[in-house]
């Protein structure tokens, strides 16, 4: 759905106020999943990208501040594979960034060089560990530093969906998935992982030492990249940026439903990450526990479209043009596909 005339006028006014000495033209680029996004063309020939973030009363994460501050930190430390932050306005929930010209990368276009560029970016983030400590950067969205904490995240997301069912008993498809498919597998996996950890004298409550944590974009994958004409990849979308466990970051990347990697690229990525974090001798062992739990977490994340406040964000980003029942049905199909990764086994790419 195109922007209404009033929405266009409001966006134009806000952005003109941010750039008072320029004549600008504002064009909608279509909504993302959460934000309204615009290209801002200036009379001097420059282009910028403006994002209008939703106002979220119940969220503890300020998406605008998180993204803008993350990119500011990276640019100050000479990282150029991300957009340059330009200005922000908290009153209008708007931030303006460098406009990155290029094209999106779909699954059929992914090549080994793209994986190599991604690994170099991960290595760069990890190398910024010491300067990042003094910046008081946040933890990444849904960051978890112990198996127990990850189980807690899964339980909270599960309980939230159960609450949705309490208020909307008509969601029979969601109920069937949660009670008949997800919970039995989750319970079995919980028991199996705890028994395995106990047999190796590992404590599920043991918290990862800060020196082993890394910076992560969190919502990380080729769905959030732009390939410039030079072939260089620019990484975008840092609303969830912060500290995380490398085992979880790697697992999330391999599992992200917005991208499907061929097995050879999964192996290339995993091997490269294990090399980057080679000083962490127990990383591969941690992943044997974290990876299947991230599968469960992603199953529930995919069902966010049943949560009222998430539906509101989707409507905000797409100007109300969302067929909610159709979207929910698609997400259930995706959640079942994700669950199949641990239905019979939960092996990592070999």
Which among 54, 56, 60 has a CA at the least distance from the CA of 32? 54
DSSP track, 111-133: -HHHHHHHHHHHHHHHHTHHHHH
Q: What is the CATH number of domain 5-9+25-98?
A: 3.30.200.20
Which among 313, 330, 303, 301 has a CA at the least distance from the CA of 165? 303
Q: What is the 3-state secondary structure (H, E, C) of 257-299?
A: CCCCCCHHHHHHHHHHHHHHCCCCCCHHHHHHHHHHHHHHHHH
Domain boundaries, the chain: 5-9+25-98, 107-343
Q: Residue 120, class by beta-carbon neighbours within 10 Å (0-12 exposed, 13-18 middle, 19+ buried)?
A: middle
pLDDT at 1: 39
Q: How far apart are CA 66 and CA 62, in angstroms?
A: 6
- What are the angstrom distances between the C-alpha of 182 and each of 258, 282, 305, 314, 346? 21, 29, 17, 25, 15
In DSSP terms, which residues pair with 244 in a beta bridge?
Answer: 214
| Sites in the chain below the pLDDT cut of 70 | 1-9, 30-33, 56-59, 316-321, 344-350
Whether the CB-CB separation of 148 and 156 falls below 8 Å is answered with no
Q: How far apart are CA 238 and CA 258, in angstroms?
A: 16
What is the end-to-end Cα distance of the chain in Å, rounded? 44
Helices (runs of H) and strands (runs of E) counted in the chain: 12, 9
pLDDT at 29: 87
pLDDT at 350: 42
Count of all residues that appear for the chain in the document: 350
Q: How far apart are CA 208 and CA 16, in angstroms?
A: 47
Whether the CB-CB separation of 84 and 71 falls below 8 Å is answered with yes
Q: How far apart are CA 324 and CA 330, in angstroms?
A: 10
Q: How far apart are CA 225 and CA 217, in angstroms?
A: 12
For strand 242-244 and strand 233-235, is the pairing parallel, antiparallel, or unpaired? unpaired
pTM of the model: 0.89
DSSP H or E segment with residue 225 = strand 225-227
DSSP H or E segment with residue 184 = helix 183-199
Class of domain 107-343: alpha beta
DSSP SS3 for 349: coil
């Amino acid at each position: 759905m195109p922007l209404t005339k009033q929405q266009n006028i409001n966006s134009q006014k806000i952005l003109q106020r941010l750039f008072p000495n320029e004549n600008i033209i504002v064009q909608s680029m279509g909504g993302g999943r959460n934000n309204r996004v615009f290209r801002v063309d200036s009379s001097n020939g420059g282009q910028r990208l403006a994002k209008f973030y939703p106002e979220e009363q119940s969220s503890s994460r300020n998406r605008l501040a998180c993204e803008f501050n993350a990119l500011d930190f990276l640019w100050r430390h000479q990282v150029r594979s991300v957009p340059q932050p330009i200005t922000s306005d908290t009153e209008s929930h708007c931030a303006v960034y460098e406009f990155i010209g290029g094209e999106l990368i779909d699954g059929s276009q992914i090549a080994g060089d793209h994986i190599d560029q991604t690994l170099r970016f991960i290595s760069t983030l990890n190398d910024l560990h010491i300067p990042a400590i003094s910046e008081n950067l946040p933890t990444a969205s849904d960051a978890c530093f112990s198996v127990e904490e990850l189980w807690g995240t899964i339980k909270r997301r599960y309980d939230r969906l159960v609450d949705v069912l309490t208020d909307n008993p008509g969601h029979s498809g969601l109920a069937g998935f949660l009670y008949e498919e997800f919970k039995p597998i989750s319970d079995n996996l919980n028991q199996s992982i705890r028994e395995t950890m106990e047999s190796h004298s590992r404590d599920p409550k043991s918290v990862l030492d800060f020196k082993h944590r890394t910076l992560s974009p969190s919502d990380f994958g080729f769905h959030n990249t732009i390939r410039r004409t030079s072939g260089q990849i620019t990484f975008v979308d840092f609303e969830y940026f912060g500290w995380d466990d490398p085992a979880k970051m790697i697992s999330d990347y391999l599992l992200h439903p917005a991208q499907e990697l061929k097995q050879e690229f999964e192996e290339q990525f995993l091997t490269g990450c294990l090399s980057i974090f080679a000083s962490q001798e127990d990383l591969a062992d941690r992943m044997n526990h974290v990876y299947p739990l991230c599968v469960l977490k992603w199953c529930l994340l995919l069902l966010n479209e049943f949560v009222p406040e998430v539906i509101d964000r989707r409507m905000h980003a797409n100007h109300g043009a969302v067929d909610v029942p159709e979207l929910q049905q698609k997400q259930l199909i995706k959640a079942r596909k994700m669950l199949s990764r641990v239905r019979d086994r939960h092996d990592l790419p070999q």
